[in-house]
């Protein structure tokens, strides 16, 4: 047993910085790829959310209202099957039961000149849409009757001109939001979990005693996270486009710098959480506590305009709001990077402030 110092030249100063960075990047990257829970969390979970949300929103937004005709309903006879799907019900009781079960969006009874509409009690939105369609049919009939009675008398007509070449299909609206959310959770949970791991396994302390500097190590760790975020974005947008029919604009590539900037901001939040938490479950709990409200007030899952005013105010504090807005602008609306400068500015300031806070509050001797 001997350590042969003749054949192995003495290492004195250790590897040069660039080489040390590459070794650490390789080691950490490999570790990431082998951690199944990380892969699930960053890649699969956002995709699952996309499936879930697009089917929820897709079912109300896209389909035609289903209307039950109770007995004879002459007003429905002129209905275009593209606007309303009409089915017959034997009597009112049966129709109301079907409404309660969500089998139809409205029921209609016609008694001479009176048209009675029963919108769905279970789904107010689709009920209202169905009721609107029926009112429009009633109006059409009235216009016909009036024009026949007083020919030559002008009547008003309304035409709908669709903005942005048509209403946003749910996927166009949801994809940027879910992507922003995916970036947020992998950044926050990832950084918080890593810091807590380091507190436990003391890896950082061991590395501090190698010739590689701590900053090289932290740089490698952040770089792994940035590369992961880019991969996550690419996979997500590809699946959204190929499977869910998301239409990508020519400016979609600008999602890359946006996602990198967002990741820096969320990593900084995670570092603050990791500094406070002492255990893995503690870090996960705190991360949830921060990311859930951040997501809810961000407008990522439903339009901010539908939220109460105080939520709209709070949303100004959520970095997810800005990432979501910026991604939506460049990926979906095809706006050039110049149009999202305010969002970029906010994210940059946010990342810098939180990073400064984490730097100030972090107790390095815990690592």
Partner 1 sequence: MDAAIEVADLRKTYRGRRTGEIRAVDGVSFRVERGEFFGILGPNGAGKTTTLEIVEGLRRPDSGTVRLLGASPWPHSPELTGRVGVQLQASAFFEFLSAKEQIETFAELYGATRDRAAEMLELVGLAEHANVRCEKLSGGQQQRLSIACALVGDPELVFLDEPTAALDPQARRNLWDLMRAINAEGRTVVLTTHYMEEAEALCDRVAIMDAGRIKAVDSPAGFVKGLDAPTRVTVAAGQLTDERVKELAAGEAVTADGAAVVFETRDPRKLLTALASDGALEGLAVRTANLEDVFLHVTGREWRA
Q: How far is CA 341 from CA 103, 173, 248, in A?
A: 47, 21, 20
Q: Does 366 bind partner 1 (CB under 8 A)?
A: no
Q: CB of 256: closest distance to partner 1 in angstroms?
A: 27
How many angstroms separate the CA atoms of 21 and 218, rounded? 9
The residue among 186 and 315 lying less far from partner 1, judged by its C-beta, is 186
Q: Does 8 bind partner 1 (CB under 8 A)?
A: yes
Residue 154: is it exposed, middle or buried by C-beta count within 10 angstroms (0-12/13-18/19+)?
Answer: exposed
Q: Does 13 bind partner 1 (CB under 8 A)?
A: yes
Instruction: Please give the residues from 26 up to 45 whose contact with partner 1 meets the rule CB under 8 A.
Output: 26-28, 30-31, 34-35
Q: Does 209 bind partner 1 (CB under 8 A)?
A: yes
Cα torsion at 145, 148, 153, 157 (round to 10°)? 50
Q: CB of 16: closest distance to partner 1 in angstroms?
A: 8
Q: Does 280 bind partner 1 (CB under 8 A)?
A: no
Give yes or no for a contact between 82 and 64, defined as CB atoms under 8 angstroms apart.
yes
Q: Does 11 bind partner 1 (CB under 8 A)?
A: yes
Could you say which of 203, 248, 284, 339 contacts partner 1 (CB under 8 A)?
Answer: 203
The residue among 5 and 157 lying less far from partner 1, judged by its C-beta, is 5
Q: Does 72 bind partner 1 (CB under 8 A)?
A: no
Tokens (6 digits) for 59: 């079912």
Could you say which of 73, 130, 188, 212 contacts partner 1 (CB under 8 A)?
Answer: 212
Q: How far is CA 258 from CA 122, 241, 272, 290, 329, in A?
A: 40, 19, 22, 21, 11
Could you say which of 45, 123, 208, 235 contacts partner 1 (CB under 8 A)?
Answer: 208
Give yes or no for a contact between 298 and 327, defined as CB atoms under 8 angstroms apart.
no
Residue range at the interface with partner 1 (CB under 8 A); choices 5-13, 237-245, 304-312, 346-354: 5-13
Strand ranges of the sheet holding 106-111, from the earlier edge strand across to the other edge = 85-89, 66-70, 106-111, 114-119
Using CB under 8 A as the binding criterion, the count of chain residues that bind partner 1 stands at: 39
Q: CB of 214: closest distance to partner 1 in angstroms?
A: 8
Residue 7, CB-side half-sphere exposure with 13 Å CA sphere? 3
Give yes or no for a contact between 197 and 277, defined as CB atoms under 8 angstroms apart.
no
Could you say which of 74, 211, 245, 336 contacts partner 1 (CB under 8 A)?
Answer: 211
Composition of the chain by helix, strand, coil, percent to 5: 70, 5, 25
Q: CB of 236: closest distance to partner 1 in angstroms?
A: 24
Residue range at the interface with partner 1 (CB under 8 A); choices 43-51, 56-64, 198-206, 274-282: 198-206
SS3 at position 63: coil
Binding site for partner 1 (CB under 8 A): 1-5, 8, 10-16, 19-20, 23-24, 26-28, 30-31, 34-35, 197, 201-213, 365
């Amino acid at each position: 047993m001997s350590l042969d110092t003749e054949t192995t030249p003495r290492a004195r100063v250790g590897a040069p910085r660039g080489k040390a960075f590459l070794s650490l990047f390789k080691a950490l990257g490999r570790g990431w790829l082998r951690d199944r829970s990380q892969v699930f969390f960053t890649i699969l979970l956002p995709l699952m959310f996309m499936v879930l949300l697009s089917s929820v929103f897709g079912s109300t937004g896209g389909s035609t209202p289903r209307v039950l005709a109770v007995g004879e309903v002459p007003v429905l006879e002129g209905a275009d099957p593209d606007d309303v799907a009409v089915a017959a019900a034997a009597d009112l009781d049966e129709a109301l039961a079907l409404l309660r079960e969500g089998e139809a969006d409205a029921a209609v009874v016609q008694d001479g000149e009176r048209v009675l509409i029963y919108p769905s009690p279970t789904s107010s939105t689709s009920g209202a849409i169905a009721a609107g369609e029926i009112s429009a049919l009633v109006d059409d009939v009235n216009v016909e009757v009036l024009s026949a009675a007083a020919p030559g008398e002008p009547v008003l007509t309304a035409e709908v001109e669709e903005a942005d070449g048509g209403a946003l299909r749910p996927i166009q609206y949801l994809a940027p939001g879910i992507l922003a959310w995916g970036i947020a959770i992998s950044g926050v949970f990832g950084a918080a979990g890593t810091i807590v791991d380091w507190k436990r396994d003391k890896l950082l302390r061991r590395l501090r005693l190698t010739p590689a500097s701590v900053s090289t190590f932290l740089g490698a760790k952040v770089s792994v996270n940035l590369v992961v975020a880019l991969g996550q974005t690419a996979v997500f947008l590809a699946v959204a486009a190929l499977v869910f029919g998301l239409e990508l604009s020519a400016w979609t590539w600008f999602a890359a710098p946006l996602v990198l900037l967002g990741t820096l901001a969320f990593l900084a939040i995670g570092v603050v959480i990791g500094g406070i938490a002492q255990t893995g479950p503690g870090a996960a709990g705190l991360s949830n506590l921060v990311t859930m409200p951040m997501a809810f007030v961000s407008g990522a899952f439903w339009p901010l305009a539908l939220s109460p005013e105080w939520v709209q105010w709070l949303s100004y504090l959520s970095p997810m709001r800005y990432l979501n807005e910026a991604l939506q602008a460049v990926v979906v609306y095809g706006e050039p990077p110049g149009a999202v400068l305010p969002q970029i500015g906010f994210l940059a300031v946010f990342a810098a402030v939180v990073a400064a806070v984490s730097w100030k509050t972090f107790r390095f001797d815990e690592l």
